[in-house]
Chains A and B, each alone.
Chain A
Amino acid sequence: RKEVEQDPGPFNVPEGATVAFNCTYSNSASQSFFWYRQDCRKEPKLLMSVYSSGNEDGRFTAQLNRASQYISLLIRDSKLSDSATYLCVVNGVEGSARQLTFGSGTQLTVLP
């Protein structure tokens, strides 16, 4: 089983739709979680950290389910500019770079 797994997609949704991605992780001791966004042929950019209580940033909501070992990202009212690949990142031990694992990403295309 991969350490961090994501559905590669692609998810093709119309503008204004709500879309959700899940990411599962295998290490139950994982301590911190993040979502990054990567545009085609560009560098990844931190979208948001995922807190235990869940957190929201505008149209984006991230949640953590430790019991089932997954994190989710919900995007409401999708915009064309949301088209990108969304990377799930899991940190096994805070402060340890070698414990940081990136998923392969979920591709989202928002259609006009």
Chain B
Amino acid sequence: SQTIHQWPATLVQPVGSPLSLECTVEGTSNPNLYWYRQAAGRGLQLLFYSVGIGQISSEVPQNLSASRPQDRQFILSSKKLLLSDSGFYLCAWSRTGRTGELFFGEGSRLTVL
């Protein structure tokens, strides 16, 4: 069966510090991979998605970046965090052509102080 894991689960970071969130998927190959952010009381916002190694599409201009160094690994990064980067970050995967059927990781709760 397929599994997805992301870490760390909780982060408290000062403004201006770097960020790295990691996500890995097991049990499937060539998944579509996504990073979403969820702010309190709001819908999920798509940040990045990837259909293959090294292929990243950015949806929202911001100080975040994503990379996919391996087929089942997706990394979300920032060089300098802003207060507005606080939120619940979710990694997800889907099968090709089944973009509505997402399987999410456990989430990473980021607080920027």
A and B pair up:
yes
> Per-residue CB proximity of B95-113 to A under 8 Å, as 1/0?
0110111111111010000
**CB-based A-B contact count at 8 angstroms:** 63
B43 close to chain A: CB less than 8 A: yes
Indicate if the CB atoms of A103 and B100 lie closer than 8 Å: no
Instruction: Report how far A33 CA is from B103 CA in the complex, Å.
Output: 15
Instruction: Report how far A96 CA is from B106 CA in the complex, Å.
Output: 23
Indicate if the CB atoms of B43 and A104 lie closer than 8 Å: yes
Indicate if the CB atoms of B99 and A34 lie closer than 8 Å: no
- The stretch from A41-49, A57-65, A69-77 touching chain B is A41-49
Indicate if the CB atoms of B100 and A44 lie closer than 8 Å: no
Indicate if the CB atoms of A100 and B99 lie closer than 8 Å: yes
Indicate if the CB atoms of B49 and A97 lie closer than 8 Å: yes
Contacts of B103 in A (CB 8 A): 46
Contacts of B57 in A (CB 8 A): 97-98
Indicate if the CB atoms of A44 and B44 lie closer than 8 Å: yes
B residues in contact (CB < 8 Å) with A: 32, 34, 41-44, 46, 49, 57, 59, 88, 90, 94, 96-97, 99-107, 109
A residues in contact (CB < 8 Å) with B: 4, 8, 32-34, 36, 41-46, 49, 87, 89, 91, 94-105
